[in-house]
Structure 1
Amino acid sequence: MTRAGSVRILVAAGLLLSLEICCRSGIINMTTMIPPSEMLGAIADLARSGRLLKESLPTFRNVTIAFVLAVGLGVIGGTVLHSLPRVRRVLDPLLASYYAVPFFALYPLFVVIFGLNDWPLIMIGIVFAGVAVVVSTLNGIDRVPPVLLKVARIYRMSRTAKVRLVILPAIALPLFTGIKLALAYSFIGILAGEFILASAGIGHAIAFAYDAFDNRTMYGLIAFTLILVTLMNMGLQACERLLLKGRSR
C-alpha cells in the first residue's frame, strides 16, 4: 500500500472513531446520528432480513445501466464533438455550465417519452453522468501527441480505425477521470431520483426510513451505499494504476 493510501485509511479511521466517541458520550445526540458501530449493525440486520438485497437490486441495476450508457455515449459524443470544431465552440459554454441545470425537472418529460418504468430514472442518471465523460474525452483527445495522429495518417487509417487503434488507447488515462466521475454521478442521479420519485430502491428506502424517524435503518442504508461506492471507486483506481504501470513499461 502506498503512503497516501495509508494516510487516507488513518484519516478515515480517525474520523469514524471520533464520531463513535462523540455519539457514545452524548456530544452528538443519538436521535440525530447513530454511532458507526450501530450503522454496521443495521447493515447486518438488513442483510439478514433480506431487505438489503431487495432494496439494492433495483438501484444497482439502474445505476449499472446508466453508468454503462453514460460512458459509452459520452466517449462517442466526445469523439464526434472533437471532430466538429465549430459545433464544439458553440457547445463549450453549455458544457461549462451544464451542472447548473436542474435535471429532475426533466423527469416528467422522460415519463412522457419512456412511460412509468425505470427508464426515466435511468435517463436522469445518464444525463447527470454523461457530460463528465464527454468533457474527459475532449480533454484527452486534445492531449493526444501529434506524432500518433501523423502515424495514423501515414498508414492511411480510416476514421474508425484511427479512433479504435490510436485515439482511445492514447486517452485511456484521462478518460478514467471521467469514468470515475460518471460512477459517482450515476449513483447521485439514481439515488436522488429514487428519494423523491421512485417506489423502490435504496433511495426510496432511505426516504421512507427518514419519514418514519427510523434513524437506524436510514443511516445503515446510507453507510452501506457509501461503503459500496467507495469500494467500487477503489476498484477503478486500481485499474487506473495497472493501466499507468503498463504504459510506463
Structure 2
Amino acid sequence: MPIAVAAQTYVVAVIVFLVAWEVSSRAYGIPLLVPPVEVTFRKLVQLVKQGLLLRDILWTTGRVAVGFFIGSVAGATAGLAMGYWPIIRRMLEPYVNFFRFIPALAWISIVLLLLGTGEVARISIIVYTSVSAVLINTLAGIVSIPPAQLRAAQTFGANQSQIFSRVIFPGTVRYILTGMRLALGSAFMAVISAEMLVADQGLGFLVINARLWMAMDEALVGVIFIGLLGLLADRLFGYLVNRYAWRFYGGTGSEM
C-alpha cells in the first residue's frame, strides 16, 4: 500500500474513532462516566505537564523490555534444547503443556508470597507469560525441518555444531520471531495486570488508581496510551525483523 494511501486511511480511522467517542459520550449523558474527547484531552495535557504520564510510560516500557527479553531468551533456549535433544523434550514437554494453560494472574498470590511486592515479582509475571509462546513456536520450528535436510547435512560431513548453526537455527529463526511477536502482546497484558495489582507506577497503576477516584478521563488516557505503546512496540519489532532478521534465514525482509 502506498504511504500516502496508508496515511489517509489512518487519519480517517482516527477521525471516525473520535466522532464515535464523542457521540457515545453525549448519548450516554453522564460525562463523569464517559468523558467527552475535549475533557479527556485536557486531562492528557495536565498529566503531560505534571510528568506523570511520561513516568508511567517509562516504568511500563522498562518492565516489558526486561521481562520480554528474559522470557524470549529462556523460551528460545528451552525450545531449541527440547527440539535438538529428544530426551529433554520427553522430560519437559508434560510440564510445558501443563503450565501453558495456567494464566499468569493465577500465580500472582503465590509470586507475592515468594518474591514480595517489588520489581522482581512484576517482572517474573511478564517472564512467565513470554516464555510459553516463544518456546512452543521454537519447538514447532525445529519439528518442521525436513529430516532429509538433516540427513543431507550429515552426508556432506557436517558435525553436530555445523548442523545446528547452518540448518537447525536458520530453519527455526522465523518461528522464534513469530513466537516473540506473540509474546510481546502477552507481555503487555501481563504488565498491565501486574501494575494494577502490585505497583505504584506504570500505566496499569494509572488506570486502576483513576478508577478508584472515579477519574474516568484519566483512566481513558491510560487505556489509550496502553494501546498506543503496544502498537508502537509491535511496529518497531516488525520493522527490526524486516530490516535485519532476514539475513539469518534467507528471506526477503518483508515477512513480518
TM bin (shorter chain): 0.7 to 0.9
The letter for the 1-side match of 2:172 is I
- 2:177 counterpart residue number: 176
Distance 1:133 1:49, change over 3 A: same
- 1:56 counterpart residue number: 57
Distance 1:113 1:196, change over 3 A: closer
1:106-139 per-residue CA deviation (whole Å, 9 max, x = no partner) reads 3344345444420111111111111000011011
How far apart, CA to CA, are the structure 1 residues paired with 2:160 and 2:91? Answer: 27
CA RMSD in angstroms comes to 3.2
1:40-59 per-residue CA deviation (whole Å, 9 max, x = no partner) reads 54333322211112222322
How far apart, CA to CA, are the structure 2 residues paired with 1:93 and 1:15? Answer: 48
TM-score (norm. length: structure 1): 0.82
Distance 1:177 1:114, change over 3 A: same
Tell me, yes or no, if structure 1 residue 247 matches structure 2 residue 251. Answer: yes
- 1:157 counterpart residue number: 159
- 2:104 counterpart residue number: 103
Equivalent residues in 2 for 1:44-123 (5 A)? Answer: 44-85=45-86, 88=89, 92=93, 95=96, 98-123=99-124
Equivalent residues in 2 for 1:226-237 (5 A)? Answer: 226-237=227-238
SS of 1:198's equivalent in the other structure is: coil
Shift of 1:10: 6.9
Distance 1:227 1:131, change over 3 A: same
The aligned length equals 248
The letter for the 1-side match of 2:210 is A
- Larger mean CA deviation between 56-65 and 128-137 belongs to 56-65
- Larger mean CA deviation between 71-80 and 199-208 belongs to 199-208
How far apart, CA to CA, are the structure 2 residues paired with 1:219 and 1:62? Answer: 21
1:10-58 per-residue CA deviation (whole Å, 9 max, x = no partner) reads 7843651442342354257433333456545433332221111222232
The letter for the 1-side match of 2:183 is A
- 1:204 counterpart residue number: 205
1:59-116 per-residue CA deviation (whole Å, 9 max, x = no partner) reads 2221111000011000001011113436545755664564541433433443454444
Distance 1:238 1:7, change over 3 A: farther
How far apart, CA to CA, are the structure 2 residues paired with 1:176 and 1:114? Answer: 30
Equivalent residues in 2 for 1:120-159 (5 A)? Answer: 120-146=121-147, 148-150=149-151, 152-153=153-154, 154-159=156-161
How far apart, CA to CA, are the structure 2 residues paired with 1:206 and 1:70? Answer: 26
- The answer to whether the Cα contact below 8 Å between 1:20 and 1:37 also exists between their aligned partners in 2 is no
SS of 1:42's equivalent in the other structure is: helix
SS of 1:26's equivalent in the other structure is: helix
How far apart, CA to CA, are the structure 2 residues paired with 1:127 and 1:78? Answer: 14
- The answer to whether the Cα contact below 8 Å between 2:26 and 2:36 also exists between their aligned partners in 1 is no
How far apart, CA to CA, are the structure 2 residues paired with 1:247 and 1:103? Answer: 34
How far apart, CA to CA, are the structure 1 residues paired with 2:17 and 2:215? Answer: 21
The letter for the 1-side match of 2:251 is R
Distance 1:7 1:145, change over 3 A: farther
Structure 2 stretches lacking a partner, 5+ long: none
Distance 1:144 1:218, change over 3 A: same
Shift of 1:151: 5.1
Distance 1:104 1:20, change over 3 A: closer
- Larger mean CA deviation between 162-171 and 1-10 belongs to 1-10
TM-score (norm. length: structure 2): 0.80
SS of 1:171's equivalent in the other structure is: helix
- The answer to whether the Cα contact below 8 Å between 1:121 and 1:193 also exists between their aligned partners in 2 is yes
Shift of 1:181: 1.2
The letter for the 1-side match of 2:159 is M
